[in-house]
Chain A
Amino acid sequence: MISRLATTILLSLTLPGIAQSLDIQKVTSPGGITAWLVEDHSIPFTALEIDFLGGAAIENAAETGTAYFLSGLFDEGAGDYDASAYQRQMRDVAAEFSFDAYRESISVRARFLTEYRDESIELLRLALQEPRFDPERVEFVRNQILAILADRASAPNDIASDTVNQLAFGDHVLGRPIEGNEESVRARTSDELEQFRQRALTRDGAYIGVAGDISPGELGILLDELLGGLPLDAPELPPAPDYRLGGGTTVIEFPTPQSTVVFMQEGILRNDEDFLTAYVMNEILGSPSYSSRLQKEVREERGLTYGIASFLGTHSTVGFVTGRFSTENQSVREAVEVVAEIWRDLANDGVDEAELSRVKTYLMGAYPLRFDGNGSIASILASMQRDDLPITYVENRNTMIDQLTPDDVSRVAARILRPDDLHFVIVGQPEGLDPAVTDESVAISGQSVFERPEQIHDRPD
């Protein structure tokens, strides 16, 4: 029975600034599947997150939207259970599963009670390995997705996101909405969904985080039962896209009193040695939770928006800096100019000691608050593995932040932020941005471009 025991490496990590340690264990199952685990037996349930590498990124152009479609079908019948019976079983053991498609992964999140662990894992195994794709359920989900596509086509937020992605990444898979398009969704067959499942859910592509009431030995056995039957080899992600979007402004006319604005420029990869520094830089620029420069200038000082934030986006082959806000049509020009100005200031003048030290204390203090339950911890453990971070990262992260100097952050701001390459996509009826005046007056980039792109959301009848 020795061979049935999972091998366990125990690492004791202490979170700086707080008096409690987080023990992350690397568990390898008898069958060779690896997961990171934080044991906590105080509540009789376990949270599990599996990120399967692949997602929408492994779709070809004709099958766009398949990962999203598939993610809607996992709990619509599996094994001997039709959809109704499957969901009855799930509820009878009080398990909670969710399945979500992303650009480069399909994520599975599960919570199950200790008393029903075996039954819950068997149901989850059926969902991942033996989904039925019964025709009437496939049609039902297809119709829901078609309605979602129609909705997205008249939602300013979605129009703005889809436009900026399309402008930046063109025909590359990263330029397409993960929900797909009407033609592709209408054409998808059950066989194609099943074939896609076999490419998308693999053992080597699975990044697994677990937290809660389970021992390493129990987890090892569970992992083999749950995932042992999946294909081994992880799918290959497509090569990097060319980043095609230059500086300027794109207006999409849309009848609404308030414009939605998305801005974006190219950024850096997650594995870039400057990434953590860039993360700190972006907190100063546009953190959603901290009093960032964008928040202060656009909301607090001028009252131009309810909320504005910027983010570092990272696909595995391309990085970008993006953000968004909404503002009344007559304020768009002013708000866009303020954002561009802040961008320019940070790139040119960097940060000083006082500003950096404030954001450092915030980030270091707030970090432990993220580990606030089994669900959050499982999710963090899975994403750490996807990002190829060492298991000691949690222990060292605050020290790395603490060591950053104003020169580091200023250097990275100058490296990454390129005001001339920042592009604004505006969905609405912005005033003072019509073609006649735009070219001269919105000198955000010095070479302001005005484009009125062709209809992005085709809706073939």
Chain B
Amino acid sequence: MKTFFLGAVLSLLTMAASPVVHAAHKMNAFRLDNGLQLVVIEDRRSPAISQTLWYRVGAADEPPGKSGIAHYVEHLMFKGTRNFAPGFYRQTVQNLGGNDNAFTSRDSTGYIQRIAADHLETIMELEADRMHNLILTDDDIETERRVVLEERNMRTDTNPGALLSEQMSASLYLNHPYSIPIIGWRHEIEQLSRDDIFDFYKTHYAPNNAILVIAGDIAPHEALRLAQEHYGPLQANPHIKTRIRPQEPPHLAERRLVMTDERIATPYIVRRYLASERNPGEQRTAASLSLLAAILGGDGINSFLTQKLEIEANISIYSSAYYRGTSVDPTGFGLVVVPADSVTMQEAEEALDEALDEFLQTGVEEAQLNRIKKGIYAANIYEQDSVQSVARRVGEALSSGLTLEDVRVWPDILQSVTAAEILDAARSLFRPESSVTGWALNEDIES
């Protein structure tokens, strides 16, 4: 029944519980003189190629009061430049039969095209051009602001699950900018100015703040030659520094949120704990947490929470655990419980806490751990079918401060994590004072 989950709950999950792994594609890394990092992932099965340019800047790098600027700039990057008229970029990509898109996360901003391999040079020229040459009319800025506000409406304001998720992040982080929604707070999006946009663009869009990932039908030295030709002339920005953001103070008080919204058809409980992330040279804790999420919620009917809350106790109709370890700073470990019909929120939350206590007492079942590790091994093979998926995973890791070596050893670390390490990680994780618990209700509390 893994295909069935609730829409409202799904929107909270940033990533499924199963951990990602390294595939056996050939990877080569280079660095241009101007600081641009280049990774080439060779896959000759199909004559296609993808280019993704990742900037090491995301929503968590926005100046105070300017939430949404990273994402807004991403939208505006599709307007004109000093060399090319508005619309030329997308028109050219499409004339060559290519597809393109862009994305903004808490830690990075990325631009991607997929196209027949012989057109790589053209899309490199266009991508390199818009790193420094963006031109915006006032009309561009205002029209796109409306689009962004509509996007916020669509993703968040019309979706009570997303609204609660936004409130949860704001509550989980006491000091770190991960508390800010990626799309931005509406009142701040409305005020972002031309100066804000160009300050942000000029500060962060530079070759020494970017990672270029080329994946598909090309030899590494050929990709390097083209990258040198098109990205090589770009000037580095000497002011780019390692990102140091405000960090969290000690968490001393458990946080609780209750949100009531008539659009919430099925009440549910969601909890997030502040959790360690993958760090260069130190990924064992994150690997343990990845496996913990898989044990608690990512093993179908045999997931620990499913067994305790759904099979043994009939407390819930759906439960899940999720964790996303690829992150610059400490991230979140999430749990979701949807109470069964006659079960109150209070009862369901107590049952969740009892189940977690029991897990800490009984520990990890070896057979289950081995089964999950086997799934990771298989995912490794299945992932080779999609070089784009490999490219995305590598780009995400590098733009979060990890190295290619970290990416390379990650699957081995996952395989080598022990039951004892997972239990240790769980003990440090499940501290009420570093958690936030949200109740999503459709009427006043009936606990």
Residues of A within 8 A of B (CB): 17-20, 40, 42-45, 47, 71-73, 75-76, 83-84, 87-88, 90-92, 94-96, 98-100, 111, 113, 137, 140-141, 143-145, 147-148, 150-156, 255-258, 260, 289-291, 299-307, 326-328, 358, 361-369, 371-375
Contacts and interface: CB of A to CB of B under 8 A. Distances in A.
Interface stretch (B4-12, B28-36, B417-425): B4-12
Contacts of A303: 142-147, 150
A134 to B, nearest CB: 11
Contacts of B7: 148, 151-152, 155
A363 B4 CA distance: 34
16 contacts: A91-B374, A92-B374, A94-B377, A96-B382, A98-B3, A144-B1, A147-B318, A150-B266, A151-B266, A289-B99, A302-B143, A303-B146, A306-B148, A364-B97, A368-B116, A369-B116
Contact of A75 (B1, B96, B116, B378): B1
Interface residues of B, number: 65
Interface string B261-283: 01111100000000000000000
A99 B302 contact: no
B85 interface: no
Nearest to A15: B47
Given A91-B300, A304-B146, A306-B150, A371 B46 contact: yes
Contacts of B149: 328
A72 B3 contact: yes
B107 interface: no
B384 to A, nearest CB: 5
Contacts of A44: 381
A371 B114 CA distance: 13
B340 A143 contact: yes
Given A20-B47, A91-B299, A258 B94 contact: no
B227 to A, nearest CB: 22
A305 B154 CA distance: 9
A258 B317 contact: no
Given A256-B263, A363-B97, 12 more contacts: A45-B381, A71-B3, A75-B300, A76-B301, A83-B301, A91-B371, A140-B310, A143-B340, A144-B1, A300-B143, A303-B147, A364-B97
Contacts of B95: 358, 361-362, 365
A47 B299 CA distance: 22
A357 to B, nearest CB: 9
A362 B381 contact: no
Given A87-B301, A98-B3, A141-B1, A369 B318 contact: no
Contact of B98 (A45, A73, A365): A365
B443 interface: no
B326 to A, nearest CB: 22
Contacts of B317: 140, 143-144, 147
B358 interface: no
A284 to B, nearest CB: 12
B341 interface: yes
A87 B300 contact: yes
Contacts of B340: 143
A239 B435 CA distance: 56
A258 B148 CA distance: 13
A299 B4 contact: no
Contacts of B310: 140
Interface string B145-176: 11111110110011000000000000000000
Contacts of A145: 4
B46 A73 contact: no
Given A96-B382, A258-B157, A291-B91, A366 B301 contact: no
Contacts of A301: 143
B3 A367 contact: no
B158 A258 contact: yes
Interface in B86-143: 87, 90-91, 94-99, 114-116, 142-143
B253 to A, nearest CB: 33
Contacts of B262: 154, 255
A135 B115 CA distance: 51
Contacts of B147: 299, 303, 305-306
Interface in B358-379: 371-372, 374-375, 377-378
Contacts of A368: 46-48, 97, 116
B94 A362 contact: yes
B97 A375 contact: no
Contacts of A369: 48, 97-99, 114-116
A94 B374 contact: yes
Contacts of B372: 91
B241 interface: no
Contacts of B381: 43-45, 113
Contacts of A45: 381-382, 385
A83 B115 CA distance: 44
A19 B47 CA distance: 7
B51 to A, nearest CB: 13
Contacts of A358: 91, 94-95
B29 to A, nearest CB: 23
A303 B114 CA distance: 26
A429 B277 CA distance: 43
A96 B375 CA distance: 9
B26 interface: no
B377 to A, nearest CB: 7
B154 A73 contact: no
B187 interface: no
A395 B217 CA distance: 21
B150 A327 contact: yes
B239 interface: no
A256 B1 contact: no
Contacts of A363: 97
Contact of A151 (B91, B265, B302): B265
Contacts of A72: 1, 3-4
Given A256-B263, A326-B154, A291 B3 contact: no
A148 B6 CA distance: 6
B386 A326 contact: no
Contacts of B47: 18-20, 368
Nearest to A398: B97
A71 B144 CA distance: 42
Interface in B285-306: 299-302
Q: Determine which residue in B1, B7, B47, B115 has the highest number of CB atoms from chain A within 10 A of its CB, and name it.
A: B1
B263 A326 contact: no
Nearest to B47: A18
Nearest to A90: B300
A113 B90 CA distance: 39
A153 B302 CA distance: 31
Nearest to A212: B385
Contacts of B384: 43
Interface in B177-211: none
A131 to B, nearest CB: 12
A72 B2 CA distance: 8
Nearest to A149: B265
A124 to B, nearest CB: 15
B157 A141 contact: no
Contacts of B214: none
